[in-house]
Amino acid sequence: MTSKNYPGRPEMVEINGARIRQIREEKGLTQLYVATAVEVTTDTVSRWENNRYPAIKKENALKLAEALETSLEDILDDNTEDAQSDQSPEEAVQDQPVEEIAKSTPAFSNSYLFAILLTAITLFAFAAGYFALKTTGNGPSATYIVERIVSPHFIPGKPLPVFIKVTIPEEVSVPFIVRENIPPSVSISAVDPPVSKKQNLDNRLQWLDKVQGEHIFFYIITPPATFQESIRFNGTYKTKDTNSDPLMITGNNISNPGVHHWADRDKNGRISDAEILLVYDLVEGGRDITFDIDLIEEIWLGEGYIWSKKKQAYTIVD
């Protein structure tokens, strides 16, 4: 590895993007953490890891190595003789503080002025967002989405599935504690993944699982055939970023008794393409649980359905 001084630019070094990503993931660090430590944007860190910027300032490389808790040599690319940068002048601006650009640029063109202004605005917005997260006490959890998906209606005596969908960035893996409270008047017939604890006294389901990208916690309840009340749900989740207080699960929290299948969300007596696609998206096909997916497909293939309260069964209209 060699470094080289370019006229009017700071000393540059070549980095190994794949190695940087490997070290960051092995240490469980997020791109947001690294970007904050080096004082750049997450987009810049992503470009470094994908070798979009194979040569960067040595000053930033030193900060990067410190953030990754490793040596500078460990993140440098030693397969080339010269540290040639593929960055255009406009891209290089993103890797330099505004003060250094002013020192190293002999004359400002309109494009440089625009790039400097854009960089300043981007850095200000990033800093404002970062400190806003810090002041809320939730930190990175603000990037987590945890929502309950349940049909707004159910048929008493028939199963009603409930989905808790967790979405986080793909590049991180985070342990989650999810707790869901179920009304004691309904029974729980299936749970996936298996719960860490089931408290029968208050019908609480409790999961402890590691989440990466998108993950779905799933359970089925069955209200009594004579049940004519609304079912109300409430639950919380917690990660290492939520401090001491758990956060509430968002999304649907109430389902009312009726005469329509739970998958028929618009209650028009049939299951549309959009509705069956939503079911398949949530069920994910590989769940080893009792589920009326065959019935849903039959209703979808037919012209509709009619619920018979007397027979406690669906009649499919061909």
Instruction: Dump pLDDT digits (tens) for 207-251.
Output: 988 888 888 998 999 999 898 999 999 999 998 876 668 899 999
H, E, C per residue of 164-219: EEEECCCCCCEEEEEEEECCCCCEEEEEECCCCEEECCCCEEEEEEEECCEEEEEE
Domain boundaries, the chain: 12-136, 142-317
Instruction: Dump pLDDT digits (tens) for 23-73.
Output: 988 888 888 888 888 888 888 888 888 888 788 888 889 999 988 989 999
Portion of the chain with pLDDT greater than 70, in percent: 73
Average pLDDT over residues 169-188: 87
Domain 12-136: which CATH number of 1.10.260.40, 1.10.3720.10, 3.40.50.300, 3.90.700.10: 1.10.260.40
Instruction: Dump pLDDT digits (tens) for 129-140.
Output: 544 444 344 445
Write down the pLDDT at residue 194: 85
Write down the pLDDT at residue 259: 92
The superfamily (CATH) of domain 142-317 is Immunoglobulins (2.60.40.10)
Write down the pLDDT at residue 188: 87
Nearest in space to 248 (alpha carbons), one of 154, 98, 147, 133: 147
Helix, strand, or coil here: 221? strand
Write down the pLDDT at residue 97: 47
- Rg of the chain over all Cα atoms, to the nearest angstrom: 27
The string of DSSP codes covering 244-277 is TS-EE-EE--EEEE-SS-TT-TT-SSS--HHHHH
Q: How crowded is the C-beta side of 185, counted as CA atoms within 13 Å?
A: 13
Taking a C-beta distance cutoff of 8 angstroms, is the pair 45, 56 a contact?
no
Type of residue numbered 288: D
* 245: CB partners within 8 A, 6+ apart: 137
Give the C-alpha distances (Å, rounded to integers) separating 124 from 42, 43, 115: 14, 15, 14
Instruction: Dump pLDDT digits (tens) for 75-101.
Output: 998 764 444 444 444 444 445 544 444
CA angle (251, 256, 258) in 5-degree steps: 135
Cα–Cα distance, 227 to 85 (Å, whole number): 69
Write down the pLDDT at residue 148: 93
Write down the pLDDT at residue 131: 45
Highest-pLDDT range among 6-20, 126-140, 167-181: 167-181
Write down the pLDDT at residue 155: 93
Cα–Cα distance, 302 to 24 (Å, whole number): 52
Taking a C-beta distance cutoff of 8 angstroms, is the pair 68, 24 a contact?
yes
Place of tokens 């002041």: 135
pTM: predicted TM-score of the whole model, two decimal places:
0.55
- DSSP secondary structure letter of residue 142: G
